[in-house]
């Protein structure tokens, strides 16, 4: 790494620390703490930048060395939201590093074909399925799952970060939310149509497969626990879906267990099955895994309302995704006063389609949520925006409209 790149990274580290200690950031940290404890006075807002980072972050990269550019990206990603959009994503006063952990279900690395645009951004992908017929290929789910943690590579990176800027910005090992998406694995292995037919054609084999997936995740999380690489996540850590882990509780003494942590699950792939089939074929796996978490954030793009009578029985459920395809009115009635946060994901077309922001349509869409979710604890996480036409002011204005709508209509 040349001196120019090194000085660039040190400058960014110092810049992150300045933003982290700013009154605005400290105030919003307290907002998140109150919000996740179901005591917040207003909904926090987060724009997930990763899907359009090629427009928001990549143009800012100056480092020449490949490794330096990777670190530069991570540093800018820590504060780009507050600088460009002024949403409520907060900036930590340290550089977060997670352990290098891995999980390969039944030992199969599922290959995929990726199609990219000329600028290198991904247009789409297709998985190379390993299961054509569940009965004929049943032996493929009998293979051992490979999982673990690479402490050596973790410590090597830790030493690198500390060498470059540790005297300016502390480097801290953290644990993000424990992540589990069983039905995504199934679709990657066999495809959506095959998954749906298999529940009908081979019900016993399908249930055994789901049970084996659950057991694999349970063993994996228990292994991380036994390796003492789980760290209490109650502050700036991610819990997936554009949300943060903040929780106002004392530091735990002794070993951190899975039941001390946030976890995340979704089942986007089962939108085509009935509530009865979801309860019979899918839910036992999910319940077994969810029982390991201390707090659960559930759901992605799938509408949760058709399966809500089942999903609501998941242990320690604290947040649930209200996607653009969800019945907002029904879920507001269900979540009002429940202690479960209404985690709203606005329709990405308002921000992500067209060169200009349709402010009237955006305001109408946001106000519908704000009025519907009165009496709930609400947060906004804008996800799945793949271009903003290189216009960061468009994103900032989008956030301003949400703030204006909250000021004018929110009744928490």
Residue 17 has pLDDT above 90, yes or no: yes
pLDDT band of 123, cuts 50, 70, 90: confident
In what helix (H) or strand (E) does residue 402 lie, and over which residues does it extend? helix 392-409
Q: Which residues of 123-158 are buried (b: 16+ CB within 10 A; e: fewer)?
A: eeeeeeebbeebeeeeebbeeebebebeeeebeebb
- What is the average per-residue pLDDT within 302-322? 98
List % helix, strand, coil for the chain (3-state, nearest 5): 50, 15, 35
pLDDT band at residue 381 using 50, 70 and 90 as cut-offs: very high
Q: What is the per-residue pLDDT across 346-362, written as a single tens digit (0 to 9) for each?
A: 999 999 999 999 999 99
pLDDT tens-place string over residues 243-283:
999 998 899 989 999 999 999 999 999 999 999 999 999 99
Contact yes or no for 344/380 (Cβ under 8 A): yes
Q: Which residues does 70 contact at the CB level (< 8 Å), separation at least 6?
A: none
Global pTM value: 0.94
Residue 245 in contact with residue 177, Cβ under 8 Å?
yes
């Amino acid at each position: 790494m040349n001196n120019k790149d090194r000085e660039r990274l040190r400058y960014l580290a110092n810049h992150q620390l300045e933003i982290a200690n700013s009154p605005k950031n400290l105030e919003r940290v307290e907002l998140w703490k109150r919000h996740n404890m179901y005591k917040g006075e207003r909904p926090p807002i987060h724009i997930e930048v990763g899907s359009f980072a090629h427009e928001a972050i990549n143009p800012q990269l100056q480092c020449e060395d490949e490794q330096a550019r990777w670190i530069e990206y991570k540093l800018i990603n820590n504060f780009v939201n507050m600088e460009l959009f002024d949403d409520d994503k907060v900036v930590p006063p340290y550089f977060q590093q997670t352990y290098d952990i891995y999980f390969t279900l039944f030992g199969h690395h599922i290959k995929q074909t990726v199609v990219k645009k000329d600028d290198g951004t991904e247009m789409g992908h297709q998985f190379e399925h390993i299961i054509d017929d569940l009965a004929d290929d049943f032996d493929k789910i009998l293979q051992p799952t490979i999982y673990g943690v690479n402490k050596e590579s973790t410590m090597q990176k830790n030493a690198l970060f500390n060498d470059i800027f540790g005297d300016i910005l502390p480097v801290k090992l953290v644990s993000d939310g424990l992540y589990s998406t069983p039905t995504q694995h199934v679709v990657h292995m066999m495809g959506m149509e095959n998954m749906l037919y298999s529940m009908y054609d081979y019900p016993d084999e399908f249930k055994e497969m789901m049970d084996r997936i659950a057991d694999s995740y349970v063993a994996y999380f228990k292994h991380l626990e036994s390796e003492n690489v789980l760290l209490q996540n109650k502050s700036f850590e991610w819990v997936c879906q554009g949300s943060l882990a903040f929780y106002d509780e004392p530091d735990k003494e002794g070993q951190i267990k899975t039941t001390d942590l946030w976890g995340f699950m979704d089942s986007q792939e089962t939108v085509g099955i009935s509530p009865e089939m979801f309860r019979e074929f899918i839910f036992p796996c999910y319940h077994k895994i969810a029982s390991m978490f201390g707090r659960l954030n559930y759901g992605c793009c799938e509408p949760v309302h058709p399966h809500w009578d089942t999903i609501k029985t998941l242990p320690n459920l604290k947040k649930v995704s209200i996607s653009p395809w969800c019945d907002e009115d029904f879920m507001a009635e269900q979540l009002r006063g429940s202690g479960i946060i209404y985690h709203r994901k606005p329709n990405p077309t308002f921000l992500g389609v067209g060169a200009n922001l349709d402010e009237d349509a955006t305001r109408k869409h946001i106000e519908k949520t704000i009025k519907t979710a009165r009496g709930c604890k609400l947060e906004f996480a804008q996800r799945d925006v793949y271009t903003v036409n290189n216009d960061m002011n468009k994103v900032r204005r989008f956030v301003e409209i949400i703030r204006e709508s909250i000021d004018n209509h929110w009744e928490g």
